Structure 1
Amino acid sequence: MPTPARRRPTVKDVAKQAGVAPMTVSYAFNQPARVAAATRSRVLEAAAQLGYRPDSTARALRSGRANQLGVVVGEHLSYLFDNPQAAQFLAGITDVCVGEGLGVVLIPTRGDASDVDRVLAAAVDGYVLWTTVADDPVLAAVARSGRPAAIQGGPAHPGLVCIGPDDRAGAAAVAAATPLAEATPVIISFPLDRRRAGGVLRGRDLPPDLMDPQAVPFPVTAARLAGYRDALTAAGHDWSDVRIAVVERNQRELGERAAAALLETLDGGGHVVVLAMSDELALGARAAVGRTRREVTLTGWDGSREAAAAGVWSVAAPLRDQGRACARAALAGGLEGHRVPWSVVAPEGRPVRGYSG
């Protein structure tokens, strides 16, 4: 015969045990300044003996606060833990939440009609948004919700704090740090939009205005492509002929496949510069480069030690710092968005060119 479940102790049970009124128990937990120190100690001792804990849902209803921060994720949730830079961003958010005594709620989106209801139904006091597109209806819904919110890297939206580096300037700077004028450039790009279609394109296949959110809805992709184009054009390359491999996700193995596909399209030998939008993609590309006899210069983004040790030029704009900034902005509810400092990081043993922003 199953053992009957133990009844959860109530405020009335604690009041009886402590010899006080039920309202005194409520004050002891929620408004301790209204209760004498000796009385509150007696209440807390009685609660401990009975195993009583205040109902967090009821407390949230009374206070109007959930004491939780929502992280709205446009990627598969496992990406936050599998990708080292995504994990750093989440770690920055949790740094702030731990300091403030708050919980973190991860809210996945799928790009369908259910996203708005799922995000707004979460019991959170504010939001941090990660990897989304300019036409995402969640942006307007969150802005109208009255809860403070910050978005990493954009897109900019009225009512949301936008925090991130100048991706266009950073991409141009890291590209210019390489021997572009004497080399053939190729690009490994993040997805252009929610379809996450892959494949090899040419510059001519992309819209003329890369920064138009209607043309390239993922803002980080758009800005970095524009920065690469700035540097390539300045170095005398014909943008319309530049080869670009678009990968579905920021994963090392996809960077390897993309680099292999790009190198196969090039005739003859000669120096090649691979402009990858992350260190993970660049490290994947390095594996493909190792199977060729070409001289190749690699660039990435994230400023990781592994990339520097592997000979990759990169851009450092620490995502852990960005996670902290987003969390603080979302909790403060009034901070203006700001640009995150960035710098070009040279491979180990190579001088830094001094670019920064």
Structure 2
Amino acid sequence: MHALAGGGRRMTRRATLADVARRAGVSVSTASRALHRPGRVSAGTTARVQQAADELGYVPSAAARQVRSGRSGTVALVVPDLTNPFFMALVRGSTRHLREHDMVQVVADVEEEPRSEEQVLEALAGRVDGIVLAASRLDRAALAAWTRRVPLVAINRDVADVPTVRTGTQGVVAAVEHLHERGHRHVAYARGPATSWSEERRRRAVVETCARLGTRFSDLGHHAPRRDAGPAAADAARRSGASALLAYNDLIAFGALDRLTESGVPVPGELSVVGHDDVFGADLTTPALTTVAVPAEELGARAAARLLAVLDGAGGATGADATSSDPGAELPTRLVVRDSTGPAAR
């Protein structure tokens, strides 16, 4: 790198920390503290060292940063299914936050398989500084054990002493209330994976709200969280006699709309449909899908921030700030009403 050295002489090599220290008139150790731990030196010294670094074009090497910090500068995000737009939004949010903190993220897709999840965690342990585990399908004991092995933050789980961020069920409650207001007295719910913590939480919200409103509830059983599971959910909803179908996620709802369109069933005339997540394309279906909006990018960013706090010792696995008991760890959801819901058929 070409840069001006002291006395106007142009350097023809990459500037080193020693060059910066010499130009700023401080020791190498002081220059290092000023650049990497500015709170430990005076503001004037920090400014002088930073100015020297800028003038010389000094860039600390990644290897040097790793040696000083004992970190790789890399974290991993493990997701159940990258083909699901919801998880791609998580990736965008976490990547953005980590980039702002000079961290690199790698992403692993475990294809909804707990065994694959364990294998990926084994492969990542010791190679990355920490892991964000999205919608983990591991059981509680396994997840807690992994938290003791590697710095880890879970998205949408609730296990004691496991740092977590999660979404609320406000939108699900609002969806059932919305349907009740439109005259629906029998709703069916197409569940998600049996190993999903979010699935059980959403189902409980639907059941409890239906009970409060006096609405009949039909459980359509578990479905894979994919579009190709939607047709079976639509068929089951029609057999149940329900006037409205709530789906575990938008992908199942998309597939349900596909089947209903093929079958000539008017939506919402004969059957109203509600999804969950408000992924890309939810407003482009025919009819546009009423769904529960989840702030997925913010969720990813919040998880990344929590992991960095764990790495810095400010939000460890046993600290209240990082555990499931922290109300700040939950992001609210909301109902977005579009054209796939309407008055119950008479």
Residue 307 of structure 1 corresponds to: 282
Q: Structure 1's 222 and 18: CA in aligned 2 closer, same or farther, altered over 3 A? A: closer
Q: Structure 1's 182 and 131: CA in aligned 2 closer, same or farther, altered over 3 A? A: closer
- The one-letter amino acid of 1:313's match is T
**What pairs up with 1:244-323 in 2 under 5 angstroms?**
244-248=220-224, 250-263=225-238, 265-266=239-240, 272-290=243-261, 291-293=263-265, 295-304=270-279, 306-308=281-283, 310-323=287-300
1:347, distance to aligned residue in structure 2 (A): 0.9
Note if 1:227 corresponds to 2:205. yes
CA RMSD of aligned residues (A): 3.8
- The one-letter amino acid of 1:165's match is T
Question: TM-score if structure 2 supplies the norm length?
Answer: 0.69
1:235, distance to aligned residue in structure 2 (A): 3.7
Q: Is the 8 A contact 2:249 2:276 kept in 1?
A: yes
Match of 2:338 among 323, 344, 347: 347
Residue 70 of structure 2 corresponds to: 64
Partner-residue secondary structure (3-state), 2:125: helix
In 1, Cα distance between equivalents of 2:330 and 2:98: 22
Note if 1:118 corresponds to 2:118. no
Q: Which runs of 5+ in 1 are unaligned?
A: 1-16, 48-52, 194-217, 352-357
Partner-residue secondary structure (3-state), 1:177: helix
1:313, distance to aligned residue in structure 2 (A): 2.5
**What pairs up with 1:1-357 in 2 under 5 angstroms?**
24=18, 33=31, 54=61, 56=62, 59-73=65-79, 75=80, 79-80=81-82, 82-109=83-110, 110-112=113-115, 114-124=119-129, 126-133=130-137, 135=139, 138-145=142-149, 147=151, 149-158=152-161, 160-167=162-169, 169-179=170-180, 182-193=184-195, 218-237=196-215, 239=217, 242-248=218-224, 250-263=225-238, 265-266=239-240, 272-290=243-261, 291-293=263-265, 295-304=270-279, 306-308=281-283, 310-333=287-310, 334=315, 335-336=321-322, 337=326, 338-347=329-338
In 2, Cα distance between equivalents of 1:120 and 1:326: 18
Q: Which runs of 5+ in 2 are unaligned?
A: 1-11, 23-27, 35-47, 316-320
- The one-letter amino acid of 1:279's match is D
1:301, distance to aligned residue in structure 2 (A): 1.2
In 2, Cα distance between equivalents of 1:319 and 1:328: 14
Residue 209 of structure 1 corresponds to: none
Residue 37 of structure 2 corresponds to: none
1:228, distance to aligned residue in structure 2 (A): 1.2
Paired residue total: 287
Q: Structure 1's 273 and 69: CA in aligned 2 closer, same or farther, altered over 3 A? A: same
Q: Structure 1's 232 and 27: CA in aligned 2 closer, same or farther, altered over 3 A? A: same
Question: TM-score if structure 1 supplies the norm length?
Answer: 0.67
Q: Structure 1's 134 and 172: CA in aligned 2 closer, same or farther, altered over 3 A? A: farther
In 2, Cα distance between equivalents of 1:350 and 1:138: 40
Q: Is the 8 A contact 2:290 2:339 kept in 1?
A: no
Q: Is the 8 A contact 1:313 1:346 kept in 2?
A: yes
Residue 200 of structure 1 corresponds to: none
Q: Is the 8 A contact 1:153 1:163 kept in 2?
A: yes
In 2, Cα distance between equivalents of 1:101 and 1:307: 34
In 2, Cα distance between equivalents of 1:102 and 1:176: 43
Q: Is the 8 A contact 1:70 1:105 kept in 2?
A: yes
What percentage of aligned pairs have identical amino acids?
19
